[in-house]
């Protein structure tokens, strides 16, 4: 069966500091991978998605970036965090064949920028 991991679970960072969040998927090959942010009381905002190694599509211009160095690894980064970057960051994967494009989410990382 497939599993998706995210770490860390929670993070408190000062404004202007760098960020690196990691997501890995097990039990599947060549998944589509997604990064979402969910601000308090708000909906899911798609930040980036990837259909393969090194292929990143950005949905919202911002100070965040994403990379996919390996097939089942997806990294979200920032060089300098802003207060507005606080939120619940969710990684998700979907199968590229079958499953109707259902997205399955990791446990999430709660980021607080102070």
94 contacts another protein (rule: CB under 8 A): yes
Nearest distance from C-beta of residue 8 to another protein, angstroms: 15
101 contacts another protein (rule: CB under 8 A): yes
Answer positive or negative: Cα dihedral of 54, 32, 37, 48: positive
Among residues 13 and 95, whose Cβ is nearest to another protein?
Answer: 95
Q: Name which position in 44, 58, 71, 73 contacts another protein (CB under 8 A).
A: 44
Following DSSP, what letter does each residue of 76-96 receive, concatenated? EEESS--GGG-EEEEEEEE-S
Among residues 32 and 67, whose Cβ is nearest to another protein?
Answer: 32
| Residue 92 phi, psi dihedral angles, 5° rounding | -140, 155
Angle (nearest 5°) at CA 82 between 12 and 52: 85
51 contacts another protein (rule: CB under 8 A): yes
């Amino acid at each position: 069966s497939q599993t998706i991991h995210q770490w860390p679970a929670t993070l408190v960072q000062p404004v202007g500091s760098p960020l690196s969040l990691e997501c890995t998927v097990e039990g599947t090959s060549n998944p589509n991978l997604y990064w979402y942010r969910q601000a308090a009381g708000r909906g899911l905002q798609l930040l980036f998605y990837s259909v393969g190694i090194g292929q990143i599509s950005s949905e919202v211009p911002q100070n965040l970036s994403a990379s996919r160095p390996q097939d089942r690894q997806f990294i979200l980064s920032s060089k300098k965090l802003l207060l507005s970057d606080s939120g619940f960051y969710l990684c998700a994967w979907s199968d590229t064949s079958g499953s109707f494009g259902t997205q399955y989410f990791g446990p999430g990382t709660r980021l607080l920028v102070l």
